Amino acid sequence: MDNKKLVETITARDVDFAQWYTDLCLKAELMDYSDAKGFIIYRPYGYAIWENIQKYLDNRFKETGHENVYMPMVITESLFQKEKDHVDGFAPETAFMTTSSGDEGERLIIRPTSEVLFCQHYAKIVSSYRDLPKKYNQWCSVVRWEKTTRPFLRGKEFLWQEGHTIHQTEAEARTETLDMLSVYNQLGKDLLAIPFVTGRKTEKEKFAGAVETYAIEALMHDGKALQSGTSHYFGSGFAEAFDIKYQDKDNLVKHVFQTSWGVSTRLIGAVIMVHGDDEGLVLPPYVAPTQIVIIPIQSQKPEVMAASNELYNSLKEAGYRVKLDDSNRTPGWKFAEYEMKGVPVRIEVGPRDLANGVVTITTRHNRAKSLVSKDDVIKTMPNILKTMHDDLYEKALKHVTANTFTALTYDAFKTQIEQGGYIKMSISGEEAELIIKADVQATARVILDEPLVTDICPVTGKKATQTILFARAY
Amino acid sequence: MDNKKLVETITARDVDFAQWYTDLCLKAELMDYSDAKGFIIYRPYGYAIWENIQKYLDNRFKETGHENVYMPMVITESLFQKEKDHVDGFAPETAFMTTSSGDEGERLIIRPTSEVLFCQHYAKIVSSYRDLPKKYNQWCSVVRWEKTTRPFLRGKEFLWQEGHTIHQTEAEARTETLDMLSVYNQLGKDLLAIPFVTGRKTEKEKFAGAVETYAIEALMHDGKALQSGTSHYFGSGFAEAFDIKYQDKDNLVKHVFQTSWGVSTRLIGAVIMVHGDDEGLVLPPYVAPTQIVIIPIQSQKPEVMAASNELYNSLKEAGYRVKLDDSNRTPGWKFAEYEMKGVPVRIEVGPRDLANGVVTITTRHNRAKSLVSKDDVIKTMPNILKTMHDDLYEKALKHVTANTFTALTYDAFKTQIEQGGYIKMSISGEEAELIIKADVQATARVILDEPLVTDICPVTGKKATQTILFARAY
């Protein structure tokens, strides 16, 4: 298969973005469909992106005093029903675990999220202020009976982490909620090269049972938004329903204040849709499973293989995720393959370059080629990756800036929403959100901490109360 | 609570080993029961042991060319039934996923193990010898509808890793099977301080669908064995059932040869039951979540807290998992607490010692105390941990040696089995295994690569064919 043919199998983004996305997920071997409808297989190349995200976050969680646990994958129905808003939010999506013998007793719900399991456990193990705070996290998969499947974005099972913490004071819990939002935001800056917009969700969009929900939102290439993570402040609602109490220093018995926060394999989808191009994936260097691929040109020549191996070993030694492809495919095939897979850096090791003591380095995101002295590769690599990461972040940020609009009238809003992007508008409240959703399927992404752009809500004609960032979303 | 009271809450091992074990799992806060019967909560201290095991193994797997993936937690019933032996082995234990709406279509089995998912995926993605080998692993939880629950040892859901590989040749697959067995054995030597016995399982005891099953077996303090991990060679049985074929270099289409291997959170149980004593857990230093605890004596004195903090920072800096307990509990309470939790090294920082420039270091496994110059703590720590690890390994090995017997007659076998331990006996085959199991509930742990100890099987009176290591097992 030659270069051209390989690339042609991926639909162009502007022709059909959804098809481009699905093509890429499959062709780049990130995932595959399972024969159980709505369940996907995370293939090595896709799973490795998740592992890099896990490693980053797990370190940050532990540095900030969190501990990992593992709760069962099932919840008894009576436990699940203890917090009413929560049940209402999740009931339509729940799946159950049963056996042929029917000896499972009470109906067992397969976790769609684990708030109630953590609540019950906390109620049991906490009795004194000395036991607080408890800051737990778990890495697991959850099941929600979604009707549609879109790789990494929506399906019946997904991988995620869910943090659940309890605190003595409201202030401490609120700080935790925002601290973890900030960790997620930093993940975008440090690893994913994605400029998230962060903010509080409207009452309508907040999590079932939360007092406040904050989110990180990302803008995809097609102008649609993707909610990429959430952090919730629960107040004492769950604590009261589940009786999580402690004796304080003043000897009074009080309820705890609670948070939860999570990100999922949706983030893989965000990386694909923010950075990818018509040739395939473009993976930011710090999250890429393979950061550098070495391709020997005329690999039958001993000096080419010797130099390739030497380079491979020294890059590996230096801690890079590097691959040497010495298979018997043509260089052209390999170029197209690793472009499609979005490997950040390609190093060609050819006899002509070698004669001059150099190799050719190509960066995936801008296809810039440069000749680098063979002995300088290690020295220049940190800068190559850093520049690439910064370029990608800047490009994504420009995309956000260029596609963020302000609507002073509802007509302008409706016209603009068809073009995609974020639209700021000041609205009266939930009534306006419902009208907008019904009219043009756009939703409030976050409440902006910005002054009103109009005093009157263009949708309802009532007094505007808050400025909202709207978008159509995945 | 004083020292004595705390320890008294744990049943002594010789009084009731099973109760000692359960007491310890709960009191050391390794786990808790969930309200869904048969499902447990892995608490931070227990889960951290698993994380250390995961880290060790994941590195070894990746170094040896394996890649992680994630398969769905469900298997369609038709897929599950493709390999007959496998179905027969697992059918009684399967659980299903259902929904209220019943729109899940075909019955979905919640994975008890994922062979068939890997097989189906491999059949889809492999077509040429160039695609081989595929060496995948996954970390996940599986569900088996066990009737009894014993923390970490038996329950309805457990955490594990399952490796699944396919190869061009039988020789390569057989090598993989033994290589991974060897990785598990090395885990015992390097991390868990457990001397495993490794070997092949008898036909009766092998895994459903395997040609050969190898296991690592450990001997618990009470003389019962614990199967702690398995590695299977499948031949081409699954490959034929699932049509995993490739075109070889010679253009012929052939079936692959396959392996699978796994260890689970059972290993936590092994660590507890091999090393623990009547005061509580004894955790080998390289797997312990907290390796060193620093306890300030008279913490109100500024020089004590200053020295404690300094020590904490330098140990943390040096890469140790260290905890400084400056809570307002008494030193006596803390001593008992961390003894019970099996923290390998305790450092007491007291004003009198400090005046002499020293601190008191106590190692958990032998309660040996030594005065170490404050400035030498970092320098001596590697040796303290190494010695402790080696001591624990040696002690466990001595226990195995002292409790391994050879039976020349079935009467001797039956008498000895009541005392526990491993018993070697040469038997005629499965007929003898069935009799032994019915008579004294002992099972063949592994086939020993040793000469026959008797020519005639003491159980059946027939010609002996192999020497087996028997034990009662968890």
Tell me the per-residue pLDDT of A357-374, one tens digit each, with 9 for 90 and over: 999 999 999 999 999 999
- Specify the amino acid at residue B133: P
**Which residue in A40, A98, A130 is closest to B95 by CB distance?**
A98
Statement: residue B4 has pLDDT above 70: no
Q: How far apart are CA A233 and CA A245, in angstroms?
A: 17
Backbone angles phi, psi at B194, to 5 degrees: -120, 120
Q: Which of B213, B224, B226, B258 is nearest to B239 (CA)?
A: B258
Task: Using an 8 Å CB-CB cutoff, list chain A residues near B105.
Answer: 37
pLDDT of residue A4: 46
Contact A141 B97 (CB under 8 A): no
Minimal Cα distance from B58: which residue of A? Answer: A51
**Which residue in B73, B100, B105 is closest to A141 by CB distance?**
B73
Statement: residue A3 has pLDDT above 50: no
**Which residue in B51, B76, B157 is closest to A36 by CB distance?**
B76
Select from A51, A69, A129 the residue whose CB has the most chain B CBs within 10 Å, as the one to mutate to test that interface.
A69
Q: How far apart are CA B448 and CA B466, in angstroms?
A: 8
Mean pLDDT computed over B296-300: 92
CA angle A428, A433, A439 (to 5 degrees): 125
Mean pLDDT computed over A101-128: 92
- Give the DSSP H or E segment for A75: strand A74-76
Contact B73 A140 (CB under 8 A): no
Q: How far apart are CA A112 and CA B261, in angstroms?
A: 30
DSSP A321-385: -EEE--SSS-HHHHHHHHHHTT-SEEEEE-HHHHHTTEEEEEETTT--EEEEEGGGHHHHHHHHH
Contact A96 B94 (CB under 8 A): no
Q: How far apart are CA A444 and CA A457, in angstroms?
A: 14
**Which residue in A68, A140, A145 is closest to B51 by CB distance?**
A68
**First-to-final CA distance of chain A:** 34
Q: Rounded to a whole number, what is the distance in Å from the CA of B169 to chain A's nearest CA?
A: 20
pLDDT of residue B101: 78
Question: Which residues, in sequence order, are CB contacts of B171 under 8 Å at separation 6+?
Answer: none
Mean pLDDT computed over A416-423: 97
Confidence band (pLDDT; 50, 70, 90) for B9? confident
Select from A99, A243, A249 the residue whose CB has the most chain B CBs within 10 Å, as the one to mutate to test that interface.
A99
Q: How far apart are CA B144 and CA A99, in angstroms?
A: 10
Select from A41, A152, A326 the residue whose CB has the most chain B CBs within 10 Å, as the one to mutate to test that interface.
A41
Statement: residue B5 has pLDDT above 60: no
Contact A41 B110 (CB under 8 A): no
Conformational region of residue A232, where left means phi above 0, alpha means psi within -120 to 50, and beta covers everything else: beta
Q: Which of A419, A153, A100 is nearest to A264 (CA)?
A: A153
**Which residue in B47, B103, B327 is closest to A68 by CB distance?**
B47
Statement: residue A192 has pLDDT above 90: yes
Three-class HEC string of chain B: CCHHHHHHCCCCCCCCHHHHHHHHHHHCCCEEECCCCCCEEECHHHHHHHHHHHHHHHHHHHHCCCEECECCCEEEHHHHCCCHHHHHHHHHHCEEEEECCCCCCCCEEECCCCHHHHHHHHHHHCCEHHHCCEEEEEEEEEECCCCCCECCCECCEEEEEEEEEEECCHHHHHHHHHHHHHHHHHHHHHHHCCCCEEEECCCCCCCCCCCEEEEEEEECCCCCEEEEEEEEEEECHHHHHHCCEEECCCCCEEECEEEEEEEECHHHHHHHHHHCECCECCCCCCCCCCCEEEEECCCCCHHHHHHHHHHHHHHHHCCCCEEECCCCCCHHHHHHHHHHCCCCEEEEECHHHHHCCEEEEEECCCCCEEEEEHHHHHHHHHHHHHHHHHHHHHHHHHHHHHCEEECCCHHHHHHHHCCCCEEEEEECCHHHHHHHHHHHCCEEEEEECCCCCCCECCCCCCECCEEEEEECEC
Pairing of strands A134-143, A67-68: parallel
Task: Using an 8 Å CB-CB cutoff, list chain A residues near B44.
Answer: 67-69, 136
Q: Rounded to a whole number, what is the distance in Å from the CA of B106 to chain A's nearest CA?
A: 8
pLDDT, greater one: B73 or A10? B73
| Each residue's pLDDT tens digit, B350-368 | 999 999 999 999 999 999 9
pLDDT of residue B3: 46
Mean pLDDT computed over B112-134: 97
Would the pTM of this model clear 0.90, i.e. be above it? yes
| Each residue's pLDDT tens digit, A202-219 | 999 999 889 999 999 999
Q: Which of A128, A113, A107, A98 is nearest to A163 (CA)?
A: A113
Task: Using an 8 Å CB-CB cutoff, list chain B residues near A37.
Answer: 105
Q: How far apart are CA A166 and CA A298, in angstroms?
A: 61
Minimal Cα distance from A159: which residue of B? Answer: B70
pLDDT of residue A174: 98
Contact B41 A121 (CB under 8 A): yes
| Each residue's pLDDT tens digit, B142-180 | 999 988 999 999 999 999 999 999 999 999 999 999 999
**Which residue in B36, B43, B124 is closest to A108 by CB distance?**
B36
CA torsion, ordered A421, A425, A427, A433, to nearest 10 deg: -10
Q: Which of B121, B74, B72 is nearest to B94 (CA)?
A: B74
Statement: residue B410 has pLDDT above 50: yes
Statement: residue A10 has pLDDT above 90: no
Evaluated on CA atoms A141, A146, A148, A154, the torsion sign reads negative
| Average pLDDT of every residue of chain B | 95
Task: Using an 8 Å CB-CB cutoff, list chain A residues near B97.
Answer: 95-98, 110, 143
Q: DSSP class of residue A188?
A: I
The neighbour count for residue A95, using CB atoms within 10 Å, is 24
Confidence band (pLDDT; 50, 70, 90) for B68? very high
Q: How far apart are CA B178 and CA B233, in angstroms?
A: 9
**pLDDT above 70 covers what percent of chain A?**
98
Question: Which residues, in sequence order, are CB contacts of B315 under 8 Å at separation 6+?
Answer: B292, B294, B322, B377, B378, B381
Q: Is omega for the bond preceding A285 within 30 degrees of 0, making it cis?
A: no
**Which residue in A35, A72, A125 is closest to B34 by CB distance?**
A72
**Which residue in B44, B69, B108 is closest to A68 by CB distance?**
B44
- Give the DSSP H or E segment for A175: helix A170-187
Statement: residue B38 has pLDDT above 70: yes
Statement: residue B373 has pLDDT above 90: yes
Confidence band (pLDDT; 50, 70, 90) for B83? confident
Are the C-beta atoms of residues B122 and B244 closer than 8 Å to each other? yes
Task: Using an 8 Å CB-CB cutoff, list chain A residues near B136.
Answer: 44
**pLDDT above 90 covers what percent of chain A?**
92
Q: How far apart are CA B105 and CA B117, in angstroms?
A: 18
Q: Rounded to a whole number, what is the distance in Å from the CA of B41 to chain A's nearest CA?
A: 5
pLDDT of residue B90: 80
Q: How many CB pairs under 8 A join A and B?
A: 138
Task: Using an 8 Å CB-CB cutoff, list chain A residues near B39.
Answer: 72-74
Minimal Cα distance from B77: which residue of A? Answer: A36
- Give the DSSP H or E segment for A266: helix A266-275
Contact A39 B73 (CB under 8 A): yes
Task: Using an 8 Å CB-CB cutoff, list chain B residues near A117.
Answer: 34, 41
Statement: residue B61 has pLDDT above 90: yes
pLDDT of residue A85: 79
Contact B70 A41 (CB under 8 A): yes
pLDDT of residue A108: 95
Contact A95 B97 (CB under 8 A): yes
Contact A36 B74 (CB under 8 A): yes
**Which residue in A39, A70, A76 is closest to B36 by CB distance?**
A76
**pLDDT above 70 covers what percent of chain B?**
98
**First-to-final CA distance of chain B:** 34
Q: How far apart are CA B37 and CA B35, in angstroms?
A: 6
Q: How far apart are CA A325 and CA A329, in angstroms?
A: 9
Q: Rounded to a whole number, what is the distance in Å from the CA of B99 to chain A's nearest CA?
A: 5
Confidence band (pLDDT; 50, 70, 90) for A8? low
Domains of chain A: residue spans and CATH: 3-275 (3.30.930.10), 292-384 (3.40.50.800), 404-471 (3.30.110.30)
Question: Which residues, in sequence order, are CB contacts of B359 under 8 Å at separation 6+?
Answer: B307, B311, B347, B348, B349, B350, B353, B371, B372, B374, B377
Q: Rounded to a whole number, what is the distance in Å from the CA of A355 to chain B's nearest CA?
A: 32
Contact B76 A35 (CB under 8 A): yes
Task: Using an 8 Å CB-CB cutoff, list chain B residues near A120.
Answer: 35
Q: How far apart are CA A360 and CA A135, in angstroms?
A: 49
Statement: residue A90 has pLDDT above 90: no
Token couple for A138: 């778990």
Q: How far apart are CA A232 and CA A378, in angstroms?
A: 43
**Which residue in B74, B104, B145 is closest to A99 by CB distance?**
B145
Chain-centre distance for alpha carbon A462: 36
Task: Using an 8 Å CB-CB cutoff, list chain A residues near B76.
Answer: 35-36
Mean pLDDT computed over B283-296: 98
Statement: residue A2 has pLDDT above 80: no
Pairing of strands A74-76, A95-99: unpaired
Contact A70 B35 (CB under 8 A): no
Task: Using an 8 Å CB-CB cutoff, list chain B residues near A152.
Answer: none
Statement: residue A303 has pLDDT above 80: yes
Statement: residue A408 has pLDDT above 60: yes
Confidence band (pLDDT; 50, 70, 90) for B435? very high
The neighbour count for residue A90, using CB atoms within 10 Å, is 20
* Residue with tokens 């170094």, as numbered in its chain: B63
